Structure 1
């Protein structure tokens, strides 16, 4: 309920207005409305008692004015967060909202204490109207964030946004209270926590909330029971999208992800973007979002003539090679010499620019796919893949690459995906369809749709029989 002070108050200097408001906030915040003394306030303010009634009419008017001032400051904080975070994803906006709440409490402890008094004291004038207005504003603010996130496809279509707003408001309000009242904290370490500890709480709490209302439909109580399928461009995953059961979308690493059931298993489809940096960033974000049981990379690639592969055939990577990482060669070679140090170590294995796949996983995958290839009219082979940043366009370069690395396929993302998967110790398999032959660039001879189709057939076959791969036992999606 609004209260506008008299003109005599408005004619005071800003400094005197601020002093009167601050002292009144301290008195009401310390003693509540019923226990606050107008006499004590005017003594500290250095004004006559009659001036208070001239300015505000009565004690209720003073209280309402002070409280409304507090509410307007909170609204200013929230408007700033909303406007400055408009282009960011929902989890970031929620984190910034909570951080702004903590900042307000630390910057204006008296004003927040006043809010606590209103919550706990039944004799506050217009208490129900005040609290209703506060809750409506808070829920409305959060609903506006959810509405925008919904339009950006960050939230599942099945989520009731009004109920989600209520849940967010309840959790966030309780968290802010726990920061100032030890009995609300419950011994969890929120009460007067350091900035670092508070930020960890905020990040973890928002993460749990978001996985409930956004994110994927995966069973988060069993986070390892889903398969992540990645590709560089949308067209390489289109065949899977149309077959997903109960699809739901999420924003993962600033990219659109789609989750659902495929061949009885929970999967997430993620388009990383072309190249190694896009792949490493997107895959890391997906793993941090929810760690998968298996990563499958798919899409198209160029096949080397010497490998025996033809356009439309499918290959499984036995090793991924980043051909650009190493030492400048001293013997005149066009390719780098091996690094004298490792990029990382996982268990007992040190990795440089060569990433070998699990032999059993590759062998099991090949066994499954060979019969699939016969039925669908394409050959399936296994062999090394090379990852390039510069697409090969000449026969001479293709010959040099084959003589040096003996690869069966060339692509732009594989070593980054393998590198990331091995850091996180997640099983990784790469299955690609040949869209062209490596060498002189002739796009008229390419067949991207056939490569996408056959790679998709192969991956779907693996999904259907994933429990036969190297001891995997993924639970069927519910």
Structure 2
């Protein structure tokens, strides 16, 4: 069934919840919704967008076509993210150009040269890691790589639970997002206020961090910008299938002593969704010009 309904799709969009998927659903043209193994898949067309100056492909087309995409609403946590992507990547022919994961995340404290993201900012992952796969020990944390655990071995290279994204692709996406005109939206904290776009490592855990002490330890250990519950799993599956991957997160909260009432989920969903739609819209130009 999935093979038939995803025919012609060149992009996979993944969001954990219906709330995080809402901006993507709103923009989808002629959506068709299907439920497979309790997971929701929405297939439709996304319009191309004007490319910002400096990011256009060398050979422009007169009019870039819309791009057909499959939006998967996975459910929270690593297993669900891995499940929906495996379902899709196993059967899609040809393989998609890219998987784009979209959602909210918590900003970890700054550590070393890494600045802390603020609520309402956009974070693009340059790498992902399972921060809870490994072992504590009297001498400190031992990662999956430290323990020699077999986690992912694409191309005969053991990745040890850490996954590095294509730096050129991440940089290109950041340029597209930086060029968004936020004047008509309240997403960045007020009309016309532009969210910062930060690039850096991100981490993933089923047991998310909820104390300031743990947050500082996580920041020191991983030098990461943000924490989510799905990112590394999506990066993991994309690495196994050798499909390009982007992770776009809107910051909903600062990772500190847990205070759910302080989270700005709607704001984070809005900036992440707007950023993802800009990237998907720009992909139509790249595809039609023979780029990436």
TM-score, normalization by structure 1: 0.50
Give the gaps of 5 or more residues in structure 2: 48-65, 184-191
Shift in Å, 1:349: 3.6
2:215 is the counterpart of 1:407 = no
| Alignment counterpart, residue 87 of structure 2, candidates 274, 285, 300 | 285
Equivalent of 1:353 in 161, 186, 190: 161
Equivalents in 2 of 1:244, 1:285: separation in Å? 21
Retained in 1: the 8 A contact 2:152–2:161?
A: no
* Number of residues of Structure 1 aligned to a counterpart in Structure 2: 256
CA distance in 2, matches of 1:363, 1:349: 25
Q: Is the 8 A contact 1:252 1:285 kept in 2?
A: no
Distance 1:373 1:304 in 2: 27
Residues 372 and 431 of structure 1, relative CA distance in 2, 3 Å threshold: same
C-alpha spacing 1:450/1:422, structure 2 compared with 1 (3 Å): same
Q: Which residue of 1 aligns with 2:287?
A: 473
TM-fit CA distance, 1:304: 1.8
Return the offset for 1:475: 8.7
C-alpha separation in 2, matches of 1:425 and 1:475: 22
Pairing 1:436–2:253 present:
yes
Of 227, 240, 244, the residue aligned with 2:11 is: 227
More strand by share: 2
Aligned to 2:50: none
Q: From 273, 283, 296, give the equivalent of 2:100.
A: 296
Correspondent of 1:446 among 259, 263, 267? 263
Q: Distance in 2 between matches of 1:349 and 1:443?
A: 40
Q: Which residue of 1 aligns with 2:27?
A: 243
Q: CA deviation at 1:343?
A: 2.4
Secondary structure of the structure 1 residue equivalent to 2:89: helix
* Aligned mate of 2:41, from 224, 246, 257: 257
Secondary structure at the counterpart of residue 242 of structure 1: helix
Do 1:324 and 1:335's aligned partners in 2 also have CA atoms closer than 8 Å?
no
Q: Which has the higher contact order (CA 8 A, sep 6+)?
A: 2
C-alpha distance in 2, partners of 1:341/1:443?
35
Which of the two has higher C-alpha Rg? 1
**Structure with the higher helix share, 1 or 2:** 1
Q: Contact 1:252–1:282 at 8 Å: present in 2 too?
A: no
What CA deviation, in whole Å up to 9, does each residue of 1:176-197 have, x standing for no partner? xxxxxxxxxxxxxxxxxxxxxx
Distance in 2 between residues matched to 1:238 and 1:305, nearest whole Å: 29
Is the CA contact 1:388–1:412 (under 8 Å) kept in the aligned structure 2? yes
Distance 1:475 1:384 in 2: 31
Give the whole-Å Cα distance in 2 for the aligned partners of 1:405 and 1:321: 8
Segments of structure 1 that go 5 or more residues without pairing to the other structure are 1-90, 92-206, 220-224
Question: Which of structure 1's runs of 4+ aligned residues deviate more than 3 A?
Answer: 327-330, 334-337, 373-376
From 356, 380, 383, the counterpart of 2:200: 383
Within 2, Cα distance between the matches of 1:246 and 1:474? 21
Secondary structure of the 1:392 match is coil
CA RMSD in angstroms comes to 2.3
Query: Which position in structure 2 is the counterpart of 1:267?
Result: 69
Q: 1:370 aligns with which of 161, 172, 178?
A: 178
